[in-house]
Amino acid sequence: MAQGARERSVAAVRHFNRFYTQKIGILDEGHLRSDFSLTEVRVLYELANREKPTAAELSRELGLDPGYLSRVLRAFGTKGLVAREPSEKDGRQSLVRLTRRGQDAFAALDRRSSEEVSALLSRLSPARQRRLLEAMHTIEELLGGRMEPEKAPYLLRQHRPGDMGWVIQRHGVLYAQEYGWDERFEALVASIAAKFIQELDPKRERCWIAERDGENVGSVFLVQESKTVAKLRLLLVEPSARGLGIGSRLVDECVRFAREAGYRKVRLWTNDVLHAARRVYEQAGFVLVHSEPHHSFGHGLVGETWELRL
């Protein structure tokens, strides 16, 4: 990197540091409206989230001078916030833990921190919040930060108010973008969703919504076609969540529920151009039993009926 470009990069990083430290209140005399400094709050956080660490472990984790950390812990001990006990593994080391008073002090600080961050985020739209969090993740990743343990990539839940609107809207948008289908497909999805809500039998029918980071990323429905046959409908996975196995998991849930509900067969209707969905159905054990050409949603298509015997 040329000298001039390097200097501009350094200046940009320093500018961001000044902006961000001011924005989150690091420069305040007492962090989080308390008598504690930022470093002291950080030490309390580590003690609250670790199982009796040694002072040496805290020093390494926080990158603090051992002498300075020792003075912080001594002050905490004087205030009754921490207690020490000998280590069974190494008699030269002592384990540090928060006392009840220390836990109470940290809980108050943790609550204030959450409130301040929540207030900061509330000024942004959901889309801008996502951009902010993605940017923070990128900064941590590029600078070699220790990432938190990976959480489950998604969760499945039953539908709740507002989900049907999402199902209809996303089917309309995605199928128009990916296959060029017109609004008549969206109308079909709307009619299916409306009938599901109006005639729902919870013991025999269900909708699953896949959710990731608080956002809907997938859906599937299982409805009753007859006493012995269930119908799988409206399988959808958002492009941003594909590759996580969500489609297969949604279909597996349908099959499991159908067995528990006493159905003998699960049937579905799809089109031959939906290659990814067809692979999911095949992997789940569905068999193609009928196909027929038709003209729908502005295109010539081949409709397919697939079945799975339970």
Give the span between the Cα atoms of 27 and 39, in whole angstroms: 12
What residues have CB less than 8 Å from 187, skipping those under 6 apart?
none
Structural contact between residues 196 and 231, judged by C-beta atoms closer than 8 angstroms: no
Do 108 and 30 fall into the same domain? yes
The answer as to whether 97 is a domain residue is yes
Per-residue pLDDT of the chain (310 residues; tens, 9 = 90+): 567 777 787 777 777 777 766 666 554 555 555 677 777 878 878 877 777 777 778 778 777 788 888 888 888 888 888 888 877 666 667 788 888 888 888 888 778 777 877 787 888 887 787 787 778 777 777 776 554 444 457 889 999 999 999 999 999 999 999 999 999 999 999 999 999 999 999 999 999 999 988 899 999 999 999 999 999 999 999 998 888 889 999 999 999 999 999 999 999 999 999 999 999 999 999 999 999 999 999 999 999 999 999 9
The answer as to whether 147 is a domain residue is no
Do 43 and 184 fall into the same domain? no
Final residue before a domain boundary, out of 89, 114, 142: 142
The answer as to whether 148 is a domain residue is no
The answer as to whether 120 is a domain residue is yes
Do 174 and 122 fall into the same domain? no
Do 170 and 216 fall into the same domain? yes
Do 138 and 9 fall into the same domain? yes
Give the span between the Cα atoms of 42 and 68, in whole angstroms: 14
Do 166 and 128 fall into the same domain? no
Do 267 and 172 fall into the same domain? yes
Do 64 and 200 fall into the same domain? no
Do 95 and 169 fall into the same domain? no
Neighbour tally for 71: CB within 10 Å: 11
The CATH number that applies at residue 81 is 1.10.10.10
The answer as to whether 50 is a domain residue is yes
Domain that holds residue 116: 3-142
To the question of pTM greater than 0.75 for the whole model, the response is no
What residues have CB less than 8 Å from 138, skipping those under 6 apart?
none
The answer as to whether 195 is a domain residue is yes
Final residue before a domain boundary, out of 142, 164, 197: 142
The answer as to whether 138 is a domain residue is yes
The pLDDT score that the predictor gives to residue 34 is: 65
